[in-house]
Chains A and B, each alone.
Chain A
């Protein structure tokens, strides 16, 4: 499948010396929903801004629909819609006018039917003549989406669309995204909320410190999440894993707990056999509990691993410098 957005080794170092993007390579498939997860300052917004032309990259190459964003910027930008993180709207303009203005900016002729459809899909049609300043925060956010959709973009970037939005509105936003996907729009969204990525994304990318740490099908991630842990608290502590159980369980908490890992979606989890073996060994149980690893844990694990590798690189570098000195 061809990539609608192809990002190759994209770099951005600000004049201050701050490295916001340290070489990101990412191919986005037409029609997919990609969620970019990452902590604050990870480079998510810089990545989006660079693709949309708001930030000038200091290295690398990006194409949208095959058009280079630097040499063929008009064609590239015409395909892209952007919903920024901050609410940035002219307060005195009316809803309908500001959305119609967006369409014009992207070189398209006025289309009242489309305007009505877009405003309806975002429950803004009743407010079409209202001034922006009269709207609630959630409505303003929807106006930003309407503006981004006014020129029928093939690729839509949503920068934290549900930050600071209540639960009901968040679900409404997900419905809008699902509807857009069904019409073939490619969607890239950044988010803090792992449940958001879980709910709507086809693929999930994790960014930290300007690097893409992982990009994976959500289903593959979910498979990793499918791992569960059975923790068995014992009446009397053990000094070693009994022979019959060796290799299957590990001892924890000073020998008072046995830990057994298994895949919830496997046909046979092995729990029945394990319990039978425990009983055969004459081990008396005090309590049982299970724990599921979440996307959040995977995410935090990745960030920690990323930091550890950065730290070790730094140590190696220092050692090397020390060696030469």
Chain B
């Protein structure tokens, strides 16, 4: 295990993050505030409580998940796509660095960034609504697992992408709709039965539901199922990354 390499990749990615710290910090604070002004106060005041939780508070876990998922995807996909684009990936590929070190470095850094953004959004949210977190340990666990799983998925997208358009394709056309339709801003139980059933095929529903349970103790689907869902998602991504490095797909001639 080449730990200095993990640290080198991680540090490089974090320094990329620090170069844009203002954008990384201001953008989630601003967008969260806007969501609270629009959904929480303007619209939310006319929406009755959902399962005993005010609408403003109800959307907090969804908002955090929305940002954390999209940020993990874009950070990790860019982190590996950019070196491929400028050619500097040759160095990582010719160094005594294995798939484990590469994934720990790139995915670890991408997950750290989105964890940071998740924490900023949570802190901002407490300025607008009263929040008590029912299961803090579970909350952190769900958050970390989601960051890592989506960073892994982003890493795969970055490896696969052949140009900047492809880099945006899957997040934009598939993941964002899945997140919005995954109950970020509503409870699945508010939907007609047929659409409730359809929603169960959306993996994001299981992740958001579990995360929301850690805040309010209520969930759309059983918490254990949420855990299994995220573990499965992680395993599939890990398996795919392992296969990519084993075969050299899109990396080595």
Stretch at the interface among B1-9, B22-30, B113-121, B188-196: B1-9
Which among B4, B19, B83 is the interface contact of A104 at CB below 8 angstroms? B4
Q: Which of B7, B12, B253 contacts A56 (CB 8 A)?
A: B253
**Majority DSSP secondary structure for residues of B touching A:** helix
User: Can you name the residue of chain B whose Cβ is closest to the Cβ of A76?
Assistant: B96
Residue-wise, chain A 200-239 has the 8 Å CB interface mask toward B (1 for contact) of 0000000000000000000000000000000000000000
**In the assembled complex, A77 has its CB within 8 A of some CB on chain B:** yes
A291 within 8 A of B: no
Chain A contacts for B12, CB-based, 8 A: 90, 93, 97, 101
Whether B8 pairs with A88 at a CB distance below 8 angstroms is: no
Q: Is the CB of A105 within 8 A of B9?
A: yes
| Inter-chain contact B82/A84, CB cutoff 8 Å | no
Tell me which residues from 160 to 181 in chain A have a Cβ below 8 Å from any Cβ of chain B: none
Whether a CB of chain B sits under 8 angstroms from the CB of A44 is no
Interface residues of B in 63-86 (CB under 8 A from A): 82-83, 86
Answer whether residue A24 sits at the interface, using C-beta atoms and an 8 A cutoff: no
A303 an interface residue at 8 Å Cβ cutoff? no
Contact A52 B86 (CB under 8 A): no
CA distance A84 to B98 in the complex (A): 21
With a CB–CB cut-off of 8 A, which chain B residues contact A78? 96
Contact B87 A84 (CB under 8 A): yes
A82 on interface, CB distance cutoff 8 Å: yes
Q: Is the CB of B86 within 8 A of A104?
A: no
B94 pairs with A82, CB closer than 8 A: yes
**Contact status A88-B90, CB under 8 Å:** yes
Task: Flag if A107 contacts B15 (CB, 8 Å).
Answer: no
**CB of B62, distance to nearest CB on chain A (Å):** 34
C-alpha gap A284/B240 in the complex (Å): 84
Q: A49-B253, A56-B248, A106-B95 are in contact. Are A93 and B15 (CB under 8 A)?
A: yes
Question: How near does chain A come to B102, taking the closest CB pair, in angstroms?
Answer: 10
Q: Taking the complex as formed, is B16 at the interface, i.e. its CB lies under 8 A from any CB of chain A? A: yes
Q: Is B132 an interface residue (CB 8 A)?
A: no
Known A-B contacts A49-B253, A88-B88, A92-B16; A105 and B97 likewise in contact (beta carbons under 8 Å) = yes
Q: Please determine whether A54 and B86 come into contact, CB atoms closer than 8 angstroms.
A: no
Q: Determine the residue in chain A with the shortest Cβ distance to B5.
A: A105
Closest to B92 in A: A105
A84 & B97 in contact (Cβ 8 Å cutoff)? no
Closest to A78 in B: B96
B108 to chain A, nearest CB (A): 14
For the complex, what is the distance from the CA of A90 to the CA of B82, rounded to whole Å? 8
Q: Chain B residues near A54 (CB, 8 Å)?
A: 90, 93-94, 252-253
- Give min CB distance, B67 to chain A, whole Å: 24
Task: State whether the Cβ of A311 lies closer than 8 Å to any Cβ in chain B.
Answer: no
A76 to chain B, nearest CB (A): 8
Establish whether residues A77 and B94, one from each chain, have CB atoms under 8 Å apart when the complex forms: yes
List residues 12-52 of chain B with CB under 8 A from any CB of chain A.
Answer: 12, 15-16, 19
- Asked whether A84 lies within 8 Å of B96 as measured between CB atoms, the reply is no
Number of cross-chain contacts by CB at 8 Å:
90
Given contacts A56-B252, A97-B12, contact A107 B86 (CB under 8 A): no
**Residues in A whose Cβ lies below 8 Å from that of B96:** 73-75, 77-78, 106-107
Among A75, A90, A104, A147, which residue has the most Cβ atoms of chain B within 10 A? A104
Residue contact A88 to B87, C-beta cutoff 8 Å: yes
Q: How far is the CB of B182 from chain A (nearest CB, A)?
A: 34
Whole-angstrom distance from the CB of B219 to the nearest CB of chain A? 43
Chain A residues lying within 8 Å of B3, measured Cβ to Cβ, are 107
Residue of A nearest to B10 (CB): A104
- Name A70-107 residues within 8 Å CB distance of B: 73-75, 77-78, 80, 82, 84, 86-93, 97, 100-107
Chain A CB within 10 Å, residue with most, of B11, B94, B253: B94
Q: Which B residues lie within 8 Å of A105 (CB)?
A: 2, 4-5, 8-9, 91-92, 95, 97
Chain A residues whose C-beta falls within 8 Å of the C-beta of B15 in the assembled complex = 93, 97
- A204–B178 CA distance with the chains assembled, in angstroms: 60
Beta-carbon nearest neighbor of B15 in chain A: A97
State A103–B82 Cα separation when bound (angstroms): 20
**How far is it, in angstroms, between the C-alpha of A70 and the C-alpha of B253 when the chains are bound?**
15
- The answer on a CB contact under 8 Å between A108 and B4 is yes
Least CB separation from B6: chain A residue: A104
28 residue pairs A–B, Cβ–Cβ below 8 Å? A14-B253, A49-B253, A53-B93, A53-B252, A54-B253, A55-B253, A56-B253, A74-B2, A78-B96, A80-B94, A82-B91, A86-B87, A88-B87, A88-B88, A90-B82, A90-B83, A91-B86, A92-B19, A97-B12, A97-B15, A101-B11, A102-B8, A102-B95, A104-B7, A104-B11, A105-B95, A106-B95, A107-B3
Smallest CB-CB A-B distances: 7 pairs: A104-B8, A88-B87, A105-B95, A74-B96, A52-B94, A77-B96, A107-B2
Given A90-B83, A90-B86, A102-B8, 10 other A-B residues pairs in contact with their CB atoms under 8 A? A56-B253, A74-B2, A74-B98, A80-B94, A89-B88, A90-B12, A104-B5, A104-B8, A105-B97, A106-B96
